[in-house]
Chain A
Amino acid sequence: MNRERQLELLRLLEEDGRRTAEQIARLMAVPVAEVEETIATLEREKVIVNYPALINWELVDDHPYVTAMIDVKVTPKRDVGFDEVADRICRFPEVQAVYLMSGVSYDLSVVLEGKTMREVATFVSQKLATLDSVVSTATHFILKRYKHDGIQFEDRDEDRRMVVTP
């Protein structure tokens, strides 16, 4: 499959990871085997990393959780720079994402999830802030998600077209 078609396949999967090879083949008008083979290749090459569901947990009753974004200032180490401490932070299961940042007064941005604010606070004070390279942390809690991974959670764009038009 050429690059342009591969990109189309990736966009279809990104839009809906549940799509089967048969459905994708039909949409792209290519043989199913070609889709299966391309997906296998893209998975092997780690272009397709995972197939997660995007869930608006705020709508799920009795599933309280909080998300925090933590600005972390660290001291980079000779030869390994920021990578070593970033790798250590990544290994905590509570940590959802870690980014090395430019143009701000901190170095790493860490996204963290916990069941309660206390749980997050405990993690930050006992696990994150105590790492050797960490100089300081600043924790910001997310109050409400409006858009995530390109998806607007409360999209108000309804179909307002008439049933039949010219």
Chain B
Amino acid sequence: MSQNTAVRNRLSQTVASLKPSGIRRFFDLAASMEGVISLGVGEPDFVTPWRVREACISSLERGYTAYTSNAGMLELRKEIHKYLEERFAVSYHPEREMLITVGASEAIDIALRAIVDPGDEVLVVEPCYVSYEPVIRLAGGVPVFLRTNAEQQFKLTPEELEAHISPRTKAIIFCYPNNPTGSTMTAEEWKRLLPVIEKHDLLVISDEIYAELTYGRRHESIAALPGMKDRTILISGFSKAFAMTGWRLGYVCASPDLLTGMLKIHQYTMLCAPVMAQMAALEALRHGQEDMERMVESYRQRRNFVVQGFQEIGLACHEPEGAFYAFPSIRSTGLDAAQFAEGLLMEEKVAVVPGDVFGDCGKGHIRCSYATSLDQLQKALERIGRFVQKQ
């Protein structure tokens, strides 16, 4: 018996068949090198605002170290309710329709596990966050990918959606503003999708973790559109807007029947989110608005800076309207995304992520996070420019 066979027998077939993360290889390579400028980071470069850290320290001093209710502190859920209403005109009841999770990642997992039966198809809008496909498979579902492209600013169209629906289709999952493209959807663009969603009675998992990082206009949640709240599972968290990635705190909002299902999984696996992170999140929502706005302004300025930089280098790049990623095309170099990323890393010590890691329609693109200092961005653009000229 070969070693691989032995491993396969010990692991479940589902887990054994999952592909390892495409990002991992680049992480290992980049981490082994000195002097790398990293545009590969999917998290804010700001440290969590001091007032939030201080609130956590203070809560520990006061002895808040115990479990909270399974759904999370009611005080925090009420604050999230107020925040969602004020910022995005979305209203979920804090006691019946809201659950605090260990990051938005857990929220995605329990949402899928709560609704998917073996063999159910879940539509995934590509390019997408690397976890969606494996988490769908772990839930027993079958991912079906919907393509988007740079010509249409990576927005989902009703035609693409309709074309992939089958009798087994249960739900659709997407993230707007999008990781890795930075693309977002307007209310009008959402409205064009509604007839298809309603006709096929789809559930919608809307990952809105980057909602606050929308530039030049307010983020439009699909849950805010008429008739959509009851079929939408809204997922968000504190990682991106409040620079709290390491705190692992997210939340999920859904109608009571769906939420009850998710709560069951959550209470049997996580029990509850960490109380110290919940205390910190409370402070972030109550007093962290200015800190957040300062960070968002900085991301927007850097977005302007890198997009112009890529265009000057000769890499076509649509203007991302949200998140903190640029997704330029590298087709003009004749290299594929992995060759480009690896060559750039080895020759110029700039780490970017190949676009096809996020799905087939990310081919020919690289993901560049601009959540890093302007000085670093300037240097990175100079190095990328030099690398492109050599091709």
Chain A residues 19-48 with CB under 8 Å of chain B are 26-29
Cβ of B308: which chain A residues have Cβ within 8 Å of it?
Answer: 26, 29
Tell me whether A163 and B30 are in contact (CB under 8 A). yes
Binding stretch for chain A, among B34-42, B84-92, B189-197: B34-42
Other-chain contact of A161, B45, B129, B130 (Cβ < 8 Å): B45
Q: Is the CB of B301 within 8 A of A164?
A: no
| Bound CA–CA A162/B41 (angstroms) | 7
A166–B45 CB distance below 8 A? no
Known pairs A29-B304, A159-B45 / 9 extra A-B pairs, C-beta < 8 Å: A11-B297, A27-B302, A27-B305, A163-B30, A163-B31, A163-B351, A164-B26, A165-B27, A166-B21
Determine chain B's interface SS by DSSP, over half rule. mixed
Chain A nearest CB from B41 CB (Å) reads 5
Which residues on A sit within 8 Å (CB–CB) of B259? none
Is B43 part of the contact surface with A, judged by Cβ < 8 Å?
yes
Closest to A19 in B: B374
CA separation between A28 and B301, bound complex, in Å?
6
A79 to B30, CA, bound (A): 70
Q: How many residues of B sit at the interface, in one of the four size bands?
A: 20 to 34
Are B23 and A166 neighbours in the complex by a CB distance under 8 Å? yes
- Asked if B304 and A164 sit within 8 Å, CB to CB, the answer is no
Q: Say if the beta carbon of A157 comes within 8 Å of chain B.
A: yes
Interface centre among B21, B45, B301 (most CB of A within 10 A): B301
Q: Which of A8, A11, A27 has the most CB of B within 10 A?
A: A27
Cα distance, A164 to B23, chains bound together (Å): 7
22 CB < 8 A contacts A-B:
A8-B297, A8-B301, A11-B297, A12-B301, A26-B304, A27-B301, A28-B301, A29-B308, A157-B47, A161-B43, A161-B45, A162-B31, A163-B30, A163-B36, A163-B351, A164-B23, A164-B31, A164-B351, A165-B27, A166-B42, A166-B129, A166-B130
Q: Which of B1-56 contact A (CB under 8 A)?
A: 21, 23, 26-27, 30-31, 36, 38, 40-43, 45, 47
Is B135's CB within 8 Å of the partner chain A? no
- The reply to whether B27 and A164 contact each other, CB–CB distance below 8 Å, is yes
Residues of B within 8 A of A163 (CB): 27, 30-31, 36, 38, 40-41, 351
Q: Please give the distance in Å from A20's CB to the nearest CB on chain B.
A: 13
Q: How large is the interface on A (under 10, 10 to 19, 20 to 34, 35 or more residues)?
A: 10 to 19
Contact partners of B31 in chain A: CB under 8 A: 162-164
A81 vs chain B, min Cβ distance (A):
35
Minimum Cβ distance to chain A for residue B109 (Å): 14
Closest to B307 in A: A29
Q: A-facing mask of B290-307, CB < 8 A → 1, else 0? A: 000000010001101100
Task: Mark out the residues of chain B between 304 and 324 whose CB falls within 8 Å of any chain A CB in the assembled complex.
Answer: 304-305, 308
Q: Given the interface contacts A8-B297, A11-B297, does A164 sit within 8 Å of B305 by beta carbon? A: no
Does B112 belong to the interface (CB within 8 Å)?
A: no
State the CA gap A116–B41 with chains docked (Å). 49
The listed residue (B41, B301, B372, B374) touching A165 by CB distance below 8 A is: B41
Judge whether B272 is part of the interface by a CB distance below 8 angstroms.
no
A166 to B369, CA, bound (A): 10
Contacting residues, chain B, for A27 (C-beta < 8 A): 301-302, 304-305, 374
Given contacts A162-B31, A164-B23, A164-B26, A28 and B304 within 8 Å (CB-CB): yes
Pairs of residues from A and B, 10 with the lowest C-beta to C-beta distance, nearest first: A164-B40, A27-B301, A164-B27, A29-B304, A163-B30, A163-B38, A157-B47, A165-B42, A166-B42, A164-B26
The answer for the CA separation of A72 and B94 in the assembled complex, in Å, is 55
Kindly list chain A residues whose C-beta atoms are within 8 Å of the C-beta of B130: 166
- A14 nearest CB across to chain B (Å): 12
Contact of A164 with B21 in the complex, beta carbons under 8 Å: no
